[in-house]
Amino acid sequence: MRHYGPTKRILVTGGAGFIGAHLCEKLLEQGHEVLCVDNFYTGCRANVAHLVLNPLFEILRHDICFPLYVEVDEIYNLACPASPIHYQFDPVQTTKTSVHGAINMLGLAKRLKVKILQASTSEVYGDPAIHPQVESYWGNVNPIGSRSCYDEGKRCAETLFFDYHRQHNLKIKVARIFNTYGPRMHPSDGRVISNFIIQALRNKDITIYGDGLQTRSFCYVDDLIESLLKLMESPDDFTGPVNLGSPDEITILELAQKIIDMAGSKSQICHKPLPQDDPHQRQPDISLVKEKLGWQPKTDLEEGLRKTIEYFEAII
């Protein structure tokens, strides 16, 4: 381990993606060196273009399905397409990234004896039979559906993290991230907030799948980054899994209406059939993260939406 002072050299896989780019930015602000590893499958250089002149920042084009030999003090493993459109485009690659990628990054962490954090997901709960979801709930996941490459890939990655922890005493952190939104979301990833904002800004019909009464909760990206940093810094005996997200529920219909109003749009709402395995309700119980890390989201939905709408206005 090469750790000479309060600052570290930190590897962020998937660092050119939506969440990864915000994380790289924050770690650099804290004075750390950041090695951003990305194969640009869904991420892009534009997300980190503002960081490249920083001498503490380095980008490496690399697919984590292959072993990586670098020297770092800490690892955030975020690489994985996160939106259904992207992860279903090449489902075998999605599972490989989750599983082979986890094995490679865990192998690296083991060799270097460094701490590693896994970006897991609320999708490990599948279509949950309990509400809100607590970490002790084992989930309700279809193993053979079109979302399974992601859900089961992430579940297997969690298993690998805990086996490396038990078998090799590796220091691990497992974050179960719920819906997150904000600037740098991919404009065509089909996620609900980016979709609605783009449709609203273009005054196009806003598509709602099903009756729109299904609920979601959304966490602004700055809040999520704060929780990931706190989790990484937490005592070694706190491994997670821990839910990170916002517990404030909103129906998809209410969300669409809010975005139409805030964007000053003329869009109308139209309904289409629900896709397979779309969960009806998704809301984290965040008691554990509140108790262990003293964290809860601070940004209210309107403020977060305003910043996100401004971002999409600028790029489309």
DSSP, collapsed to helix, strand or coil, labels residue 43 as coil
- Indicate which single residue of 8, 9, 12, 17 sits in contact with ligand NAD (rule: CB under 6 A): 17
Print burial letters for 293-314: b (CB count within 10 Å at least 16), e (below 16): bebebebebeebbeebbebbee
Stretch that binds ligand NAD, among 34-42, 232-240, 265-273, 283-291 (CB under 6 A): 34-42
Residue carrying structure tokens 């053979």: 144
Stretch that binds ligand NAD, among 48-56, 58-66, 232-240, 264-272 (CB under 6 A): 58-66
- Indicate which single residue of 25, 35, 41, 309 sits in contact with ligand NAD (rule: CB under 6 A): 41
Burial zone of 206 (CB within 10 Å; 0-12 exposed, 13-18 middle, 19+ buried) = buried
Of 232 and 267, nearer to ligand NAD (C-beta) is 232
Q: What phi and psi values does residue 28 have, to the nearest 5 degrees?
A: -65, -40
CA distance 198 to 188: 9
Stretch that binds ligand NAD, among 79-87, 139-147, 229-237, 300-308 (CB under 6 A): 79-87
Catalytic residue among 87, 150, 164, 181: 150
Is residue 229 part of the contact set for ligand NAD (CB under 6 A)? no
Q: How far is the CB of 264 from ligand NAD (least distance, A)?
A: 26
Q: Report in angstroms the alpha-carbon separations of 4 from 7, 8, 32, 172.
A: 8, 8, 12, 22
Q: Which H or E run includes 116?
A: strand 115-121
Residue type for position 207: T
Stretch that binds ligand NAD, among 2-10, 62-70, 161-169, 253-261 (CB under 6 A): 62-70
Question: Do the beta carbons of residue 14 and residue 8 sit within 8 Å?
Answer: no
Is residue 242 part of the contact set for ligand NAD (CB under 6 A)? no
- Indicate which single residue of 11, 19, 28, 170 sits in contact with ligand NAD (rule: CB under 6 A): 19
Is residue 35 part of the contact set for ligand NAD (CB under 6 A)? no
Is residue 63 part of the contact set for ligand NAD (CB under 6 A)? yes
- Indicate which single residue of 3, 30, 40, 168 sits in contact with ligand NAD (rule: CB under 6 A): 40
- Which string of x and - marks every residue 150-179 that binds ligand NAD (by CB under 6 A)? ---------------------------x-x
Q: Report in angstroms the alpha-carbon separations of 147 from 50, 143, 158, 279, 304.
A: 34, 9, 17, 11, 28
Q: In what order do the strands lie in the sheet with 115-121?
A: 57-61, 33-38, 9-13, 74-77, 115-121, 172-177, 242-244
Stretch that binds ligand NAD, among 11-19, 161-169, 258-266, 303-311 (CB under 6 A): 11-19
Question: Do the beta carbons of residue 97 and residue 42 sit within 8 Å?
Answer: no
Any catalytic annotation for residue 150?
A: yes
Angle of helix 91-112 relative to helix 148-168, nearest 10 degrees, comes to 20
Tokens for 287?
Answer: 């008691």
Q: What is the dihedral of CA 149, 181, 102, 171, to 10 degrees?
A: -140
Q: How far is the CB of 316 from ligand NAD (least distance, A)?
A: 17
Is residue 81 part of the contact set for ligand NAD (CB under 6 A)? yes
Q: How far is the CB of 161 from ligand NAD (least distance, A)?
A: 13
Is residue 148 part of the contact set for ligand NAD (CB under 6 A)? no
Is residue 82 part of the contact set for ligand NAD (CB under 6 A)? yes
Residues classed as catalytic: 150
Q: Write out the residues near ligand NAD by the rule CB under 6 A.
A: 13-14, 16-20, 38-43, 63-65, 78-82, 86, 97, 101, 119, 121, 177, 179-180, 186
